[in-house]
Structures are given as C-alpha cells and as structure tokens.
Amino acid sequence: MPPEGFLNGKTLHLKAASDAKVAARVASHLRRRIEEDDWRPYTSKEEALRAWSRLGGIRLQVMLALGLLEAPNHESQGED
C-alpha cells in the first residue's frame, strides 16, 4: 500500500515515504507565497496556479489541500 500524508485534514496520495518531506516543502513554499502575495515570475495568483496545476503530482495535491484550487469531480489528482 502506498504511503499517505495529511495536510489541512486532506489525504495526500504519495508514492514513497520521502514524498511527505517534498509535500511539506511545497506547502511551506506556497504558504510563503500566499502570505507575501508573491507570484513571480507570473503576473497574478491565478496565472501561477494555472501554470503550477499543469505540473500535477504532489504540487497539485498540496494546492488542493490548501484550498488554492477546487478538486475536479472524479478526476485523478496526480501521484508524482
């Protein structure tokens, strides 16, 4: 069974135990950007989230857990 992590009460589906550290780092990075309203090199928060969501994987799961995006109905949230 693959490891799972939790962030803001949401389950993160991870491939390896070490992915929990990656998710924590991504969450910290995104929280800093939110706090500082810093979306560089993008011109807006929406543009940054759109670009980052295309990457999928852990970053997408963290953005969903932080409430930055709404979960698509019945679609994969990526597992990279």
pLDDT of residue 2: 57
Once rounded to an integer, what is the mean pLDDT over residues 59-78?
79
pLDDT of residue 60: 96
Print burial letters for 39-64: b (CB count within 10 Å at least 16), e (below 16).
beeeeeeeebbeebbeeebbbbbbbb
> Which one is predicted more confidently, 79 or 46?
46
Phi, psi of 56 (to 5 degrees): 65, -155
Instruction: Enumerate the β-bridge partners of residue 7.
Output: 10
pLDDT of residue 80: 47
Sorted by where each begins, the domain ranges of the chain are 4-65
Give me the percent of the chain exceeding a pLDDT of 70: 85
pLDDT of residue 72: 72
